[in-house]
Amino acid sequence: MALNIDELRERARRKLPTAVFDFIDGAAEDEVTLRRNREAFGRYALVPRVGIDVSAIDVAVTMLGQPLSVPLLLAPTGLCGMATSRGEIPAARAATEAGILCAVSCLSSVTLEEVSREAPGQHWFQLYVWKDRAVTQALVERATQHGYRVLVVTLDVPVLGQRERDVRNGATIPPRITLRNALDTLRRPGWLWKIARGPRVTFANVAAADPSVGLNPFALSPFINSLFDPTVTWKDLEWMRRIWKGPVAVKGVMTVEDARLAVEHGADAVIVSNHGGRQLDGAAGALDPLPEIVDAVGSRTEIILDGGIRRGTDMAKALALGARACMIGRPYLYGLGAAGQAGVADAIRILTSELRRAMALMGCKRIGDLGRSCLRPA
């Protein structure tokens, strides 16, 4: 078992080929926003309190009516099958076993039907609005049929951010062994064995609609760019709202203006996020706009903070600023790459125990006790 998320990351780095590790770990351009996601937490100090009976700490909450054993969700991440074969399934199983929720990406490496069948739970489904609205609508219908509870609409990818590590590594789907990366890949026989025995890594939901997808290896970024629609507007959110009967969460909001628009166009939850620094490099850290967004729309919607969480103390800060829950992307992908389902469970366990310990040291017995008085400028 790893001691902390950084240790899980190191284990993943050793187990995964460089191109796969970089696909997970990397971000857009100079990765300034990736670093800012971490730095933003450093601007707050936590306030210790003493003389309070903290023998019973309760970290359970509800999110859009669903119970969570701890205010944590697994963020939607495409192609978990790069980290380990059919990776969405062990990730979703670990979430359910821990009593938390996971949002399954529409760009998953197994179909949304396979996840709901092989890892049953109260999962959410994340959607990009694709150029082909008929395919988009069909995905919504499939997610409805298979019992997904909440639709997460990600709006911060009208075009794909340039992840320079992927370009430099010549990342393809499925990953290919080339002269350049052969030695590096062969040094990770555990990964190679799992991937070689499993099904071909591809965008399974897209391939289900168009069987020509995945027949030949293709470059990652141009393919994704060809799917996404740069004309998407708030009108499309209204359309989503009409065709999806359950709650809708809008992901990728970084300003008060957009948070208000999301609520006006029917969002039940707002996910404050810069896509883990993978989209607009130079944007602020995800935590930075959180307090003003909470002040503006927090009474009308539930707010999730997504990006840069690596410690339970980071979660404590986001929750104290008014987030109802936090999402993690890379921390559980490191776990998946390091040790499959057990690694994801480890990531969840680490963050949960760190949060509980921080709350005890802050004299907070319940999540509701975390508020702005628990923070000072660092």
Q: Using the minimum distance from each CB to ligand FMN, give the nearer residue, 146 or 310.
A: 310
Minimum CB–partner distance for residue 136 and ligand FMN (Å): 14
Identity of the residue, 38 or 365, whose beta carbon is nearer to ligand FMN in the bound complex: 38
Interacting residues with ligand FMN (CB under 6 A): 23-24, 37, 75-78, 105, 107, 126, 154, 251, 273, 275-276, 278, 306-309, 328-330, 333
User: Three-class SS string for the chain?
Assistant: CCCCHHHHHHHHHHHCCHHHHHHHHCCCCCCHHHHHHHHHHHCEEECCCCCCCCCCCECCEEECCEEECCCEEECCCCCHHHCCCCCHHHHHHHHHHHCCEEEEECCCCCCHHHHHHHCCCCCEEEECCECCHHHHHHHHHHHHHCCCCCEEEECCCCCCCCCHHHHHHCCEECCCCCCCCHHHHHCCHHHHHHHHHCCCCCCHHHHHHCCCCCCCCEEHHHHHHHHECCCCCHHHHHHHHHHCCCCEEEEEECCHHHHHHHHHCCCCEEEEECHHHCCCCCCCCCCCCHHHHHHHHCCCCEEEEECCCCCHHHHHHHHHCCCCEEEECHHHHHHHHHHHHHHHHHHHHHHHHHHHHHHHHCCCCEHHHCCHHHEEEC
CB of 228 to ligand FMN, least distance (A): 11
We find the least distance from the C-beta atom of residue 76 to ligand FMN, in angstroms, to be 4
For this structure, is 275 an active site residue?
yes
Q: Which of 123, 146, 265, 275 is catalytic?
A: 275
**Closest to ligand FMN by CB, 169 or 369:** 169
Give min distance, CB of 179 to ligand FMN, in A: 26
We find the least distance from the C-beta atom of residue 21 to ligand FMN, in angstroms, to be 10
**In the complex with ligand FMN, which residue's Cβ is closer, 271 or 375?**
271
* Residue closer to ligand FMN, measured from CB, 91 or 297: 91
Task: Tell me which residues are annotated as active site.
Answer: 275
